Amino acid sequence: MRRSRMSPPACLQSTPHATACSVRRRSPGFAPKNVLDFGAGPSSALWAMRAVWPKSIERVNLIEPSKEMQRAGQTLLDNLKGLPLIHSYDSIQELNRSIEKHERRHDLVISSYALGEIPSLNDRITIVRQLWDLTRDVLVLLEPGTPQGSKIISQMRSYILWMEKRKCRKSGKSTAAAPSKMKSMVLQEDLLKDGAFVVAPCPHDGRCPLENSDKYCHFVQRLERTSSQRIYKRSKGVPLRGFEDEKFCYVALRRGKRPEEAWPLDGMKFDTLKERHAKRNPEDLIIDYDDQFPSEEDEEAPGSDEDSLVPYASDTQELSLFHESGEEEEEPIRADLGGGWGRIIYSPIRRGRQVQMDVCRATKRDASEGAFERVVVTQSKNPALHLQARKSLWGDLWPF
C-alpha cells in the first residue's frame, strides 16, 4: 500500500485529534510549547497535536519502550520539514535521567492507549502520578471505549482530583502556620500549582454519575476506511462500508482552580412558539409557513439523522414512540453553567417534533457535583433550541 509521507493513516490520529480538539474548544487560550507523549507508539498523537496547535509546539518528548514502534514513528517523520524538536525515550525514568529537573514539566502530557496495558491498579496509579508530576498545565488520558477503558479513565480522574484536593488542604494549613515573611513565597511557589479541574469531557469535578450504573461514558469517532482496508476486511464477498466508528474514552485535567467566568447563554431564555409568532413580521409569514414542513435538506442532511453515528445496542435504550399531536410535557430547564456547558452522552434520539438527549452537566455553580439527565426539547416550546438539538451529535456541548 502506497501512502504519501505528508500524512499518516487516519487511524493513527483520529481519536487523539478529537480529544485535542475538545481541549482546544474548552480552553481556547491554551497553546502548548512542550509536549510529552507517553506510550507514543508510531508518534500518532504528535500528528494530532501538530494539526490542532500547528504554531505553538516547539519540543516533543516521546516515551515508547518498543524499538519497532520507535522506528515506525521515525519512518513517518522522515524528510518532513517544520517539525518541532523531538526526542525519544524508553521510559519515564530515562527521561528524568536525561533532562534537567527544571525542564521536566510539559505544557501538555498525553497518554494514548497505554494505561490499559498495565495490569495492576497500583501500577497505573504510580504511572499517572508520575505523568501528573511531569505536567505543567494539561494532562490527557485516552483509552479504548470499552467498560474497562471507561473504568480506568474514571479511576485515574478520581485519583488526581482527590490528590490535588488533599494537597490544597495541606498547603492551606501549612501556609496559615507559616511566618508572615514566608507566606508570600509559599503562595507564589506552591499554591498557584495546586488544584486540578476537568477540562473535558466532564463539565464538573464531582463523582461520575454513571459510576454505579449499567452505562459507561464513551464517545465515537468516525474513521474513513481506505480501499485496501475494505478489500482486506471483506468477508464472504460482502463489501464493507466506507467508514467505521471507533469508540474511545478520555479525560483532560488541568492544573489550578476552575475559572469562575461567565459562560455564553448563562441565564438566557428562549422564546416559546407563541411568543415567536407574536413577534414575527408580516413579511415572514411565508417563511414561517414553509418551516412547518420538513425539507429535503432536513431529512437527508448528514448529522441530522440517527444514522449519522451508528448507535450501539449497549449505548441507547429503545424508547416508546411519540405522537406529534400529543407531545410529552417538557420540564422547564434553567441554565446553571458554573462548570460550563453540559456534554451530550450517546446519540440524540429524534421522535417527531421532539429531541431527547442524555446530558452530563454540573448541578452546582462551583462544578463540584454533576448529574446525568435526560433532556427533552420540543419544537412548540423551544423552536430555536429545538433546531440546535436536531443538529446536535454525540459528544457535542449543550448549553442547558
Phi first, then psi, for residue 287 (nearest 5°) are -65, -45
Q: Is the pLDDT of residue 331 over 90?
A: no
Alpha helices in the chain (DSSP H): 14-26, 44-52, 67-77, 92-98, 121-133, 147-177, 180-189, 227-233, 273-279, 285-291, 296-300, 383-391
| Highest CATH level, class, for 10-255 | alpha beta
Phi first, then psi, for residue 254 (nearest 5°) are -125, 145
Mean pLDDT of the 38-52 span: 86
What single string gives the DSSP state of each residue in 39-77? T-TTTHHHHHHHHHSTTT--EEEEE---HHHHHHHHHHH
Distance between CA atoms of 138 and 197, rounded to whole angstroms?
10
pTM of the model: 0.74
Mean pLDDT of the 114-139 span: 94
| Angle in degrees, CA 339, 343, 347, rounded to 5 | 170
Which of the four pLDDT bands, split at 50, 70 and 90, describes residue 323? very low
- At 388 the pLDDT is 86
Q: Per-residue pLDDT tens for 354-385?
A: 999 999 988 888 888 899 999 999 888 888 88
Grid coordinates of 44: 500518532
Give the domain ranges of the chain.
10-255, 273-398
Residue 180: strand, helix, or coil: helix
Residue 18: strand, helix, or coil: helix
Which comes out higher in pLDDT, residue 250 or 178? 250
Q: Which amino acid is at 173?
A: K
Q: Is the pLDDT of residue 26 over 90?
A: no
Is residue 276 classed exposed, middle or buried when 0-12, 13-18 and 19+ CB atoms within 10 A define those classes? middle
Pick the range with the lowest mean pLDDT from 8-22, 85-99, 295-309: 295-309
Q: Which amino acid is at 67?
A: K
